[in-house]
């Protein structure tokens, strides 16, 4: 809401000074500095049986910052990281901004061409790469058209024989004295840029600021109930919205980061037992994986583990299965543009007494704004808030401090989503009488498969490049394992012959594997009188099949 100026001169309007004593720019860097002081000898990070205290973790991050500066990266320039969950990816969330630079954590599932586009679009000056992704990184760098300094992460679990012939990460850290603590000059300064596929072929760079990262991390930590006694298991990729800001939030509370390089059900259960894990986050695919684990993989949990999930609402069977395993479910909602989960389906005291079906229906909603976000609502086409009747559909919208600065080098796209003091999500939904919000459809045609966003337009663009395909439409098909999978409806040119296998092979050659349609159907496409393909009818056909 807008605050009106007073119609008189207040005595409190006196020009009192803003100094270093009463104002410091907000930044999540202060979380690590405090935890180093308060929890110096407490375990901050565990990985592959090794652990680091908060004192050691802070020192490593400060060495990271010194290395970034020594590499010639100037304040405001970009450092990219292509790595799985582990100490380097986590340390980058502190070392890069401590050097005054901007972090770009790359999705490890992206293809080389997209990685190359991002490196150039963000004008990255330094790239850290885990050896497992060395071949992909080499291909991206080959097409870059410029030199880029590389640091190689030699994680012991990376496949043998892969290398970039670059300085190794641990040696790089050891070669530099820890940098002094320093925060941003302005809390509005960029701290990270996270790329989202959006609805066009090229991804958009979502720019985060220090203030939003600070407040978003505190909000996420409070909403999930972290305490200094908590142990957070990294089942959510750190490259997703800076790990939904838990890269900073876990540290803020003084809890322990339990790293997990590869998501496997047996490893998750074992980590929970070995490290007394209390919290985790993940897409519905992770929950499905746990519920359908083999008896040999499943371990009895010593205590309830809170599991937050976003994306498609988990079905009743998954909620019930997770509860039987000893997990407490929490449904959250957000987008890259709002630092991940900026709303939560806040559980109410009476919900545990409801039947499973009633409780699942409540939990499936996208909920209310979290404590750090100013507002979350549903807007009518005229810009007003829709009635809270559970029936009137409008567009979901956020506003507050935990909203991006905008899209990098894309003012047009930024203007399209910032209107009348709101960030418009493009998702359509309703508001219920209890003020909880529920999504009904996605206006952007984004497919969320296993927690990964897939642009249907990007997949269609590739399909249209095939010489035998006349028309193509890609929509989300419901899937028990992945939540959603891309389904391609294809119309061939006259007398053309093409198999599902042919289409799959062509797609694999031209896009990341997770974007390849898992289902291909050859049929005519329903259209409006103006010739527009009616994707809503295709979705309905898939849901009823």
| SS3 of residue 53 by DSSP | strand
User: Phi-psi category of 451—alpha, beta or left, where left has phi over 0 and alpha has psi -120 to 50?
Assistant: left
Residue 462: CB atoms within 10 Å? 21
Q: What is the CATH number of domain 26-35+46-210?
A: 3.40.50.980
Percentage of the residues of the chain whose pLDDT score is greater than 70: 95
- The whole-number pLDDT of residue 529 equals 44
CB 503, CB 473: distance < 8 Å: no
Mean pLDDT of the chain: 92
Tell me the residue length of the chain.
545
- The whole-number pLDDT of residue 539 equals 87
- The whole-number pLDDT of residue 51 equals 98
Buried b (16+ CB within 10 A) or exposed e, 433-459: eeebbbbeebebbbbbbbbbbbbbbbb
- Please identify which residue in the block is written with the tokens 């009823």: 544
Place domain 446-544 in its CATH homologous superfamily. ANL, C-terminal domain (3.30.300.30)
**Mean pLDDT of all residues in 513-526:** 93
Buried b (16+ CB within 10 A) or exposed e, 315-338: bbebbbbbeebbbebbbbbbbbbb
Tell me the per-residue pLDDT of 385-413, one tens digit each, with 9 for 90 and over.
999 999 898 999 999 999 999 999 999 99
- Please identify which residue in the block is written with the tokens 């894990």: 277
- Please identify which residue in the block is written with the tokens 């630079």: 101
Tell me the per-residue pLDDT of 53-107, one tens digit each, with 9 for 90 and over.
999 999 999 999 999 999 999 999 999 999 999 999 999 999 999 999 999 999 9
Q: Residue 84: exposed, middle, or buried by beta-carbon count in 10 A (0-12, 13-18, 19+)?
A: buried
**Mean pLDDT of all residues in 463-467:** 89
Q: What is the CATH number of domain 368-442?
A: 2.30.38.10
Residue 381: CB atoms within 10 Å? 8
Distance CA 135, CA 115 (A): 12
**Mean pLDDT of all residues in 97-122:** 95
| SS3 of residue 411 by DSSP | helix
Tell me the per-residue pLDDT of 130-177, one tens digit each, with 9 for 90 and over.
999 999 999 999 999 899 999 999 999 998 888 888 999 999 999 999
At 198, is the pLDDT very low, low, confident or very high (cuts 50, 70, 90)?
A: very low
DSSP lists the bridge partners of residue 52 as 45
CB 76, CB 52: distance < 8 Å: no
State the DSSP H helix or E strand holding residue 214, giving kind and residue range, or none if neither.
helix 210-224
- The whole-number pLDDT of residue 216 equals 97
Q: What are phi and psi of 173, to 5 degrees?
A: -65, -45
C-alpha closest to that of 396 among 434, 373, 366: 366
At 297, is the pLDDT very low, low, confident or very high (cuts 50, 70, 90)?
A: very high
Tell me the per-residue pLDDT of 243-277, one tens digit each, with 9 for 90 and over.
999 999 999 999 999 999 999 999 999 999 999 99
User: Phi-psi category of 202—alpha, beta or left, where left has phi over 0 and alpha has psi -120 to 50?
Assistant: beta
pLDDT over 50 at 530, yes or no: no
- Please identify which residue in the block is written with the tokens 């790595």: 83
| SS3 of residue 54 by DSSP | helix
- The whole-number pLDDT of residue 405 equals 98
State pTM to two decimals. Answer: 0.86
E strands, 288-348, are 305-309, 327-335, 340-344
Distance CA 58, CA 81 (A): 19
Tell me the per-residue pLDDT of 351-392, one tens digit each, with 9 for 90 and over.
989 988 788 888 888 999 999 999 999 999 999 999 999 989
Greatest Cα-to-Cα distance within the chain, rounded to the nearest angstrom: 83
- Please identify which residue in the block is written with the tokens 């409008």: 394
Residue-range domain boundaries for the chain: 26-35+46-210, 368-442, 446-544
- Least confident window among 41-45, 221-225, 430-434, 464-468: 464-468
Look up residue 129 and give its two tokens. Answer: 């790469």
**Mean pLDDT of all residues in 510-538:** 84
| SS3 of residue 526 by DSSP | coil
- Count of CA atoms in the C-beta half-sphere (13 A) of 319: 19
Whole-number Cα distances in Å, 50 to 43, 86, 163, 258, 431: 10, 11, 23, 10, 47
- The whole-number pLDDT of residue 289 equals 87
- The whole-number pLDDT of residue 437 equals 95
State the DSSP H helix or E strand holding residue 474, giving kind and residue range, or none if neither.
strand 469-479
Sign of CA dihedral 290, 292, 298, 303: positive
CA angle 122, 125, 129 (to 5 degrees): 95
């Amino acid at each position: 809401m807008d605050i009106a100026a007073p119609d008189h001169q207040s005595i409190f309007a006196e020009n009192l000074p803003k100094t270093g004593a009463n104002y410091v720019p907000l930044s999540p860097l202060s979380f690590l500095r405090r935890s180093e002081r308060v929890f110096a000898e407490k375990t901050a990070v565990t990985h592959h049986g090794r652990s680091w205290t908060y004192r050691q973790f802070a020192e490593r991050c400060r060495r990271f910052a010194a290395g970034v500066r020594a590499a010639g990266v100037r304040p405001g320039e970009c450092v990219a990281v292509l790595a799985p969950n582990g100490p380097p990816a986590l340390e980058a969330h502190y070392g890069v901004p401590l050097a005054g630079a901007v972090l770009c954590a790359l999705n490890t599932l992206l293809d080389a061409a997209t990685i190359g586009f991002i490196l150039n679009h963000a004008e990255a000056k330094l790239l850290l790469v885990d050896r497992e992704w060395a071949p992909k990184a080499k291909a991206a760098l080959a097409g870059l058209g410029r030199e880029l300094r590389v640091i190689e992460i030699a994680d012991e679990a990376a496949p043998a024989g892969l290398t970039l012939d670059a300085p190794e990460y641990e040696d790089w850290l050891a070669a530099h004295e820890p940098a002094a603590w320093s925060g941003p000059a302005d809390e509005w300064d960029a701290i990270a840029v996270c790329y989202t596929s959006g609805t066009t072929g090229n991804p958009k760079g979502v720019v985060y600021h220090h203030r939003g990262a600070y407040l978003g991390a505190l909000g996420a930590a409070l909403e999930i109930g972290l305490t200094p006694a908590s142990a957070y298991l990294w089942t959510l990729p750190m490259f997703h919205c800076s790990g939904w800001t838990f890269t900073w939030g876990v540290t803020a509370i003084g809890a322990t980061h339990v790293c997990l390089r590869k998501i496997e059900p047996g490893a998750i259960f074992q980590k929970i037992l070995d490290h007394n894990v209390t919290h985790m986050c993940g897409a519905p695919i992770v929950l499905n994986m746990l519920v359908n684990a083999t008896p040999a993989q499943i371990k009895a949990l010593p205590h309830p583990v809170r599991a937050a999930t976003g994306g498609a609402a988990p079905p009743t069977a998954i909620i019930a299965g997770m509860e039987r395993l000893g997990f407490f479910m929490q449904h959250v909602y957000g987008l890259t543009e709002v630092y991940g989960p900026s709303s939560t389906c806040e559980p109410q005291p009476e919900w545990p007494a409801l039947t499973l079906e009633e409780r699942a229906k409540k939990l499936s909603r996208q909920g209310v704004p979290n404590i750090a976000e100013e507002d979350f609502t549903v807007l009518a086409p005229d810009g007003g808030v829709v009635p809270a009747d559970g029936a009137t559909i409008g567009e979901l919208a956020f506003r507050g401090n935990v909203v991006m600065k905008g899209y990098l080098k894309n003012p047009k796209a930024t203007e399209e989503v910032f209107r009348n003091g709101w960030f418009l999500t493009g998702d359509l939904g309703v508001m219920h009488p209890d003020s909880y919000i529920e999504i009904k459809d996605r206006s952007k045609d984004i497919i969320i498969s296993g927690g990964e966003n897939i642009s249907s337009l990007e997949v269609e663009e590739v399909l249209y490049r095939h010489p035998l395909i006349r028309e193509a439409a890609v929509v989300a098909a419901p899937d028990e394992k992945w939540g959603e999978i891309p389904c391609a409806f294809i119309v061939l040119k006259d007398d053309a012959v093409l198999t599902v296998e042919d289409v799959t092979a062509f797609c694999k050659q031209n896009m990341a594997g997770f974007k390849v349609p898992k289902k291909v159907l050859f049929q005519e496409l329903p259209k409006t009188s103006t010739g527009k393909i009616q994707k809503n009818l295709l979705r309905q056909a898939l849901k009823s099949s």
